[in-house]
Structure 1
Amino acid sequence: MLRPWNLTIDIDRSSAKAIYIQIADNVAAAIQSGRLPKGTALPSSRSLAAQLKVNRNTVIEAIQLLVSEGWLLSQPRRGIFVAAQLPYGSNLYTEQKIAWSDHQAPQRIIFDDGNPDSKIAPVEQLGRAYRQLFKRSARWKMMGYADPRGHIDFRQEIANMLNIERNMRINEDHICISRGSQMAMYLVAQCLLQHNDYIFVESPGYHSAWKIFEKAGAKLIPIPVDENGLKVEELLPHLLKKNPIKALYLTPHRQYPTTVTLSKERRAQLVDLSNKYNFIIIEDDYDYEFHFEQAPYYPLASQPELINNVYIGTLSKVVAPALRIGYLATRNEYLLQQITELRSIIDIQGDNIMEQAVLELIQDGTIRRHIRKATQLYKKKRDFMVAQLDKFLPDHVDYTSPKGGLAIWLSLKHQIDWALLFQKLKEKSVHIPHPENYTKERTFGGIRLGYGSLSEELIKEGITILAEVLEQSKLQS
């Protein structure tokens, strides 16, 4: 493919900033400004290195960084292209983050629903692991087709992690690697659910998962959530009706969106009901790694009494959202075989090279060190967020300080005009997740605010603006 132009990149060789970071800065800025539209082919690493008069490995490092962050896409035998879907709300290079509303207005302060801070992602270590892989004498073996369940060494390491840290009893034959937890959920739904099957879901809950289950033809039965998690006693009336209830989907560790933890008593009740009525528990453990105080509860999947379950996890929040590696674990051999067959049809295999690169980071301790560092940072941000809520929002919201994770749930003390709220926030260049993301009700009782990806400065400014706008949007009772 001919690229009849040179990409203008300014390099300051006297700067303390690494040259590959400067290259990445320039490319990311060009993408954000629209100078490099989506789908644009970049020059080859060789020609770009010659143009910039730098070592080719320096250019490769910059490209790998941008690929891992989601700005660029590598297409085998074709080249490197600007990604069709840019990383939402994330910018590795600047403190201020940019999103686009329906009218293409930039929003300066983005409270997402719980994304990690991409600026602390171990991208340099990941790039180094990539390079080491390609230096190995048997590197040609990585370029062929692999097991659709994922590389066996990587599956073994994930199984080890789940057994040691989460008290599970599985091996690599119970694991399937996927491109993020969303894909894992889709595979499970397509292989488990049929038209007019029923599935229990939490209310409020994870809307993206609901859409996956409905796409498979299932009907949702919403079960309310309180301060102790899913109200398990409300399952029984539906079970006694003898409807074809196939599964329950829940987030027991840190319920989405409210962040509450399912109590021990309800966990035991849920296991008993699942075994008695033969429905599968689909457990989505989306941010288990980040806990701030006491040790977290082990997953439901760790309980040996539980017969029917699928456990879903992700590394995207551990490393970076653009790193699309999720996994599912189940002892149901028939279901896992169906999932493997479907995976091989739609994707043939996962990202074998990425799996081995991340495996290197797990085995050399990089991931563990990163989790420890990230947990300390997120706890500091949580504490800062709580201090701002206490200072600016005591008249508007109640909350419980989360024991971990990347977001906080605010219960509103009064009714508000939601349309006016979002209009005012937009005028102030502030974004918050819309409650339609986690409920189908017409009335919304709370707001989920992520703090992991924002600086303390932007958290404070955002909460100050939110307090002002909540007062303006308050409905008179």
Structure 2
Amino acid sequence: MPVDRQSTTAVYLQIAHQVINAIQRGFLSGGQQLPGTRAMSLLLQVHRKTVVAAYEELDAQGWITSLPNKGSFVKPALRKTAGKKKLDVLGLTGYPAKTGFPFRNSNILDVPDETPGLPLMLTDGQPDYRLSPTDQLARYYTAALRRKVNRKHLGYSTAPGDSFFKRQLSNFLNSTRGLHIAPQNILVTRGMEMGMYLAARTLIDAGDIILVGSPGYYAANMTFQQSGAQLKTVLVDEEGIDVEAVERVCKKHRVRLLYITPHHHYPTTATLSAQRRIALLKLSVAYGFIILEDDYEYDFHYQSSPILPLASADTDGMVVYLGSFGKTLAPGFRAGFLIAPDNLIAAMQKVQAIIDRQGDTIMEQVLGELIAEGEIHRHLKKVQKIYYERRNHFCETLAMQLGNSVSFSIPPGGLAVWTKWEQGQNLLRISKACATQGLQLPQFLLYQTRELSAMRLGFGNFTPAEATIVLDMLKQAAAQASGYRFE
């Protein structure tokens, strides 16, 4: 019965827990006498009072009975464990690695594991958390927590989110995205992923046909498949998803939903043209399918004003709009929103109440104040300039390092570059070679088929100096994997 004196768990509790384990596993049977407190203290090299405290804890929990002048005994009611097959003694100090029962484990949600210990990592376009306005966030959080009126938010509440935040958010979205919404059109979520899950859980039934772009966003596809949907892919070109192909599918099948990231398509970064946006809205009304619009990277645009989302022109209630503050502030700042007509928001709130009854009303109030005070606008203006410079440096260095072997277009917005590689390149082999260079290139960034060989490379989380190092590593890894030099 080892005692760990470095553990944060009190020694007497360690002793009590190990005795309980021994009883549960049949090593101590019902009615068996435990060593006296003096003998046990000598055996374990601890003070007798520590053993006394452990026995008192066991007695209080109902595992043993202490009789005056006789000793301490495992309760007779536990005698049923005696005679059963005893477990390996090594199990006393560990937890089972596997369940003893079967359960449904879907491989649909499998994502390749990250390689731990590597100093640098390419992403699909994550922002740089080092640019987060932590001072402003800390100041607003402190002020919000100190207000006595906010203490009510620390208890359970049946109210669907903070009304102040929803008012500010509706004003923000109306002014920046051309929407015409009110607070009752908003469902506040813990990030984009929760919004997508709630939409899938509410709108999709098993067997429904869902249209997605090809290539497309793996996380969204997994969410839809997990809901039992049947996915059909539609090609994406430089103007976004092929609307004529969407209509051809609709003529043959009853389509329930179309998922798109129109501002910067994931992963190709293509922007859906204005003409195709109008055509999609008309098709959705004609064929009755829902448009699930993900405003992925809407806040980051460098050359002109962003094209307004489809939701801004929706007059028939066919568009459900997803967004988040994750990339605006920091990925760890889990605040998202879902925009839809009143009746759908009410239905989704019922589902959300099961998995996230309380939400985070303090964070919502902080976000509301950041919007009301203009801090969000100031922060966006600041990081826009930084990401614009990083994009330019990344693209210039990429062209210089990998030359004519990789083709790409400079993205007008977003935090990633879509790169097409020569068909002879084995991208998985390049990924493995990157690991030897100290650079992680996750498999979900790789898109390799008979017709396509491409990578989505994020630049937002690298300073210019870091980007130079990363792209040199990528160049060396590509050379190592292919056997020839890149010029």
TM-score when scaled to structure 2? 0.74
> Which residue number in structure 2 is paired with residue 391 of structure 1?
400
Task: Report the 3-state secondary structure (helix = DSSP H, G, I; strand = E; otherwise coil) of the residue aligned with 1:119.
Answer: helix
In structure 2, what is the Cα distance between the partners aligned to 1:182 and 1:400?
28
Of 368, 376, 380, 1:371 maps to: 380
Quick one: structure 1 residues 414 and 472, their matched pair in 2 at CA, closer, same or farther if it must change by over 3 Å? farther
Count of aligned pairs between the two proteins: 377
- Answer with 461-470 or 279-288: which moved more: 461-470
SS in 1 for 2:442: coil
Residue number in structure 2 paired with 1:412: 421
Tell me the secondary structure at the aligned position of residue 342 of structure 1.
helix
Task: Work out the CA distance in 2 between the residues paired with 1:297 and 1:433.
Answer: 31
In 2: Cα distance, 1:391 partner to 1:250 partner: 33
**SS of corresponding position for 1:377:** helix
User: SS at the partner of 2:264?
Assistant: coil
Correspondence for 1:236: 247
1:396–1:470 Cα contact (<8 Å) kept: no
Aligned to 1:215: 226
Amino acid aligned to 2:349: T
Give 1:456 shift.
Answer: 1.2
Residue 427 of structure 1, aligned match among 426, 436, 440: 436
Q: Deviations over 1:318-373 (max 9, x none)?
A: 11111110000012x33222201001111113111111112222222222111111
**1:287–1:317 CA contact under 8 A, matched in 2:** yes
In the alignment, the residues of structure 1 paired with residue 288 and residue 448 of structure 2 have an alpha-carbon distance, to the nearest angstrom, of 28
Residues 1:247 and 2:257 are matched in the alignment: yes
Letter of the structure 1 residue corresponding to residue 417 of structure 2: I
What does residue 172 of structure 1 align with?
Answer: 183
CA distance in 2, matches of 1:285, 1:397: 28
Matched, 1:137 2:148: yes
Q: What amino acid does structure 1 have at the position aligned with 2:311?
A: A
Distance 1:418 1:167, change over 3 A: same
- 1:279 matched to 2:283? The reply is no
User: Is the aligned partner of 1:462 residue 2:473?
Assistant: no
Distance 1:247 1:320, change over 3 A: same
Q: Which residue of 2 aligns with 1:313?
A: 323
CA distance in structure 2 between the partners assigned to 1:104 and 1:398 by the alignment? 27
1:286: how far off? 1.9
SS of the equivalent of 2:424 reads coil
Paired letter, 1:460: T
The answer to whether the 8 A contact 1:292-1:403 is kept is: yes
Q: Give the % identical residues.
A: 34
Match of residue 37 from structure 1: none
**What code does the residue aligned with 1:468 have?**
Q
* Distance in 1 between residues matched to 2:357 and 2:235, nearest whole Å: 39
Please identify, of 267-276 and 180-189, the stretch whose mean Cα deviation from structure 2 is larger.
267-276
Whole-angstrom CA distance in 2 between matches of 1:285 and 1:156: 20
> Is there any run of 5+ residues in structure 1 with no aligned partner, and where?
6-100
Question: For 1:322, what is the secondary structure of its paired residue?
Answer: coil
Tell me how far apart the structure 2 counterparts of residues 438 and 471 of structure 1 sit (CA, whole Å). 17
Matched with 1:445 is 453
Distance 2:353 2:162 in 1: 14
Higher percent of residues as helix: 2
Tell me which amino acid in the other structure corresponds to 1:184.
G
Cα separation, 1, equivalents of 2:114 and 2:139: 40
Task: For residue 165 of structure 1, report the CA deviation from its aligned partner.
Answer: 1.0
Call closer, same or farther: CA 1:203–1:309 in 2, change over 3 Å: same
1:264 aligns with 2:274: yes
TM-score (norm 1): 0.75
